[in-house]
Amino acid sequence: MDGTIRVRFFARYAELVGCEETALAVTLPSTVADLVRRLRTELPGGQEIPERPLTALNLKHVRLDAVLHDGDELALLPPIAGG
Amino acid sequence: MSHLTRAAISLDPLLAEVMSPGCGGTCVFLGTVRTGADEPVAGIEYSGYEEMVEAEFGRIESEVRERWPDARSAVRHRLGLIPAGEASIAIVAAAPHRAEAFAACRYVIEAVKQRLPVWKKEHRGDGSTVWMDRSGHTVVQ
């Protein structure tokens, strides 16, 4: 089964890959780690993103072993610096 | 009401959200942009994953209600370029007694520092910019 994941980049990561979002077709089941691995190899500048970045799925922090579903929004978050 | 603003933060509306005759203590925390010790800082540009910021603030407020049922809290985070000396975040917490008000206020700012998807880029006096981490140190490029 295939699905589409919306991927968003912020702050320094957006600068590194030169865009703020993209959409990727994935084969399901897949995990956040699977997608991060693809992003790091397929996107220009992707190698500069850490192997284990902070991630959020559908507006909630998740671990890299979180399972993706069709239509999910995955965000790669640089180290938090709010406040 | 949104937890985010691009204008200067005003405390009065925040205080009005939490104060009540049953609250004997109100704690206010302001986080402000400070000038650098070594490098002159013109300001800090704050950006965020805005939809998630709203969701995360909602979760933090729920946690405050669970931990201190009699306390009430409100928060605003400012985004955009903020000059040195102006507030980037304001948190107010009111409770029947001061201990709960202090504790709730402290809980919110610590949660913000750990979880809120907001980033800051320091604009220096020489025109250069650098990304900052939560401790105010330069992110290694």
The minimal CB distance from A82 to the residues B51, B77, B131 is found for B77
pLDDT (tens digit per residue) in B102-127? 999 999 999 999 999 999 999 988 88
Residue B98 in 3-state DSSP?
helix
| CATH label of the domain that carries residue A39 | 3.10.20.30
Minimal Cα–Cα distance from B126 to chain A, Å?
20
**pLDDT given for residue B47 in this prediction:** 98
Number of folded domains that form chain A: 1
Over its length of 83 residues, how does chain A's per-residue pLDDT go in tens digits?
899 999 999 999 999 999 999 999 999 999 999 999 999 999 999 999 999 999 999 999 999 999 999 999 999 999 999 88
The minimal CB distance from A56 to the residues B52, B112, B139 is found for B52
**pLDDT given for residue B83 in this prediction:** 94
A82 and B CB contact within 8 Å: yes
**pLDDT given for residue B140 in this prediction:** 61
The verdict on residue A83 lying in a domain is no
Query: What pTM does this model have?
Result: 0.95
| Alpha carbon separation from B121 to A1, B23, B102 (Å, rounded) | 41, 38, 30
- Break chain B into its structural domains and give their ranges: 4-30+50-118
The predicted complex's ipTM stands at 0.96
| Residue B39 reports pLDDT greater than 80 | no
CATH top class, domain B4-30+50-118: alpha beta
**pLDDT given for residue B135 in this prediction:** 78
In this structure, is the dihedral angle defined by the CA atoms of residues B100, B64, B3 and B135, taken in order, positive or negative? Answer: positive
| Alpha carbon separation from B106 to A71, B23, B37 (Å, rounded) | 37, 17, 26
**Counting one residue from A and one from B, how many pairs have CB atoms under 8 Å apart?**
72
Minimal Cα–Cα distance from A47 to chain B, Å?
13
User: Which residues span the domain enclosing A47?
Assistant: 2-77
The verdict on residue A51 lying in a domain is yes
Q: Which residue of A has its CA nearest to B108?
A: A83
The verdict on residue A8 lying in a domain is yes
